[in-house]
A and B are shown apart, each in its own frame.
Chain A
Amino acid sequence: MKEFFNDIVYEPWPWWVGGPLIGVFVIVLVLAERKQLGISSSFQYVCAKISPFKLDYLKDTSKSVWQFWFVIGLVLGGFLLYNLIPAYEIGVSAETVTTLEGLDISKQNGYVPAEVYNVNSLSNILVLIFGGLMIGFGARYANGCTAGHAIMGCALMSPASIVATVCFFIGGLLATYFILPIII
């Protein structure tokens, strides 16, 4: 029992633990709060609050207030784990380590590679801004992200969400095979 508890706290979870928990979370959010999971509306909310321009898209964000607090919680969850649990090795297949070495990216004891998430190099800053820009623009244009479309929307078998999810994947493959090798 103690070992089981230790594993849950100090080790990463296998997909068959974390995946179903995501599904359970979605259901709890619907039953307890009548909310459908969605995260990228938080961008719209924040932009509306800081916008010096009057834009139609940023007019009414009252429905996204809960998402603003939700993403504050996402940051808090990371902060709690960072401070309470000692860092553990992130799992990744040996094959991927070899593939990434071809891009001069080494496997490190962290969630992101220092070669990409590096703010001491201007070119890396531009890569991160470009990546972020595509996330923000794309998620709002597509009307949802991995949470709202890939998980919630696909669970509801919504045609828009299934199309968007397939396209998220196409974009990811384009980035992986054609863009990352050039810009890193």
Chain B
Amino acid sequence: MKNLRFIVYGAVFSIILIKVEAVSWFRIQEMFHFQSFHMYGVLLSGILVALIGTQLIKRFTKIEFRTKPLQLSANVIGGICFGIGWGITGACTGPLYSLIGLNIWPTFVVLAGALLGTFIYAFLMKSLPHGGLSDKKNS
């Protein structure tokens, strides 16, 4: 039950994403057509503030961060697949849930697709390349 407080965090994050229009299919298309600075501003300023914050945390506290291991083929192929889904639906994972809350019911179809995609990955994981492109073994 102690995890229930993350509902509050999720609601706050969702409100930020919605108010800054990061959940809008139109804004995502605008970004991929390079027709406005809006989404670049959102992402770059978000990353910049988080970068400064994490640097300060590293310097002044004992909190340690985990970074994900570099798995070149997984990061590249998986990344391109994710990007294709992002471009088509105009929703990455956070906005996907926000859109459902916003009463846009067709988004359930996208979510069902995402769960199906996760199952496909779970089935294929062992036969997919993960490490360096020339690395036959899975890392």
Q: How many residues of A contact B (CB 8 A)?
A: 126
Q: How many B residues are at the interface, by size bracket?
A: 35 or more
Residues of A within 8 A of B103 (CB): 78-79, 82
Query: With A and B bound together, what is the CA distance between A71 and B11 in angstroms?
Result: 8
Residues of A within 8 A of B21 (CB): 12-13, 18, 90-91, 111
Query: With A and B bound together, what is the CA distance between A23 and B51 in angstroms?
Result: 8
**Interface SS of A by simple majority:** helix
Query: With A and B bound together, what is the CA distance between A53 and B119 in angstroms?
Result: 10
Nearest CB in chain B to that of A43: its residue:
B118
Given A39-B94, A96-B30, A171-B80, residue A20 in contact with residue B45 (CB < 8 A) = yes
Contact residues, B39-53 vs A (CB, 8 A): 39-53
Query: With A and B bound together, what is the CA distance between A136 and B92 in angstroms?
Result: 10
Our pick among B33, B38, B81, B116 for the contact of A129 (Cβ within 8 Å) is: B116
Q: Are A132 and B114 in contact (CB under 8 A)?
A: yes
Residues of B within 8 A of A22 (CB): 13, 16-17, 20, 42, 45-46, 49-50
Contact residues, B56-94 vs A (CB, 8 A): 57, 61, 63, 65-72, 74-94
Query: With A and B bound together, what is the CA distance between A29 and B8 in angstroms?
Result: 11
Most chain A beta carbons < 10 A, residue from B47, B66, B98: B47
Residues of B within 8 A of A128 (CB): 89, 106, 109-110, 113
Q: Are A65 and B3 in contact (CB under 8 A)?
A: yes
Q: Are B71 and A36 in contact (CB under 8 A)?
A: no
Residues of B within 8 A of A112 (CB): 24-25, 90-91, 99, 104, 106-107
Residues of B within 8 A of A172 (CB): 28, 31-32, 83-84, 86-87
Q: Are A150 and B43 in contact (CB under 8 A)?
A: yes
Q: Are A136 and B4 in contact (CB under 8 A)?
A: no
State how many angstroms separate the Cβ of A135 from the closest Cβ of chain B: 4
State how many angstroms separate the Cβ of B78 from the closest Cβ of chain A: 3
Given A19-B41, A55-B123, A74-B10, residue A96 in contact with residue B33 (CB < 8 A) = yes
Identify 9 residue pairs between A and B in the complex whose beta-carbon atoms are under 8 Å apart, listed by A's number. Answer: A23-B53, A30-B53, A53-B123, A72-B7, A76-B11, A81-B14, A129-B116, A136-B85, A172-B28
Knowing that A73-B12, A156-B51 are A-B contacts, what are 7 other residue pairs whose CB atoms are under 8 Å apart, sorted by A's residue number?
A91-B21, A132-B116, A134-B82, A134-B85, A137-B81, A151-B50, A179-B84
10 tightest CB-CB pairs across the interface, nearest first?
A171-B83, A73-B10, A78-B101, A132-B113, A18-B20, A23-B49, A175-B87, A77-B14, A167-B79, A136-B117
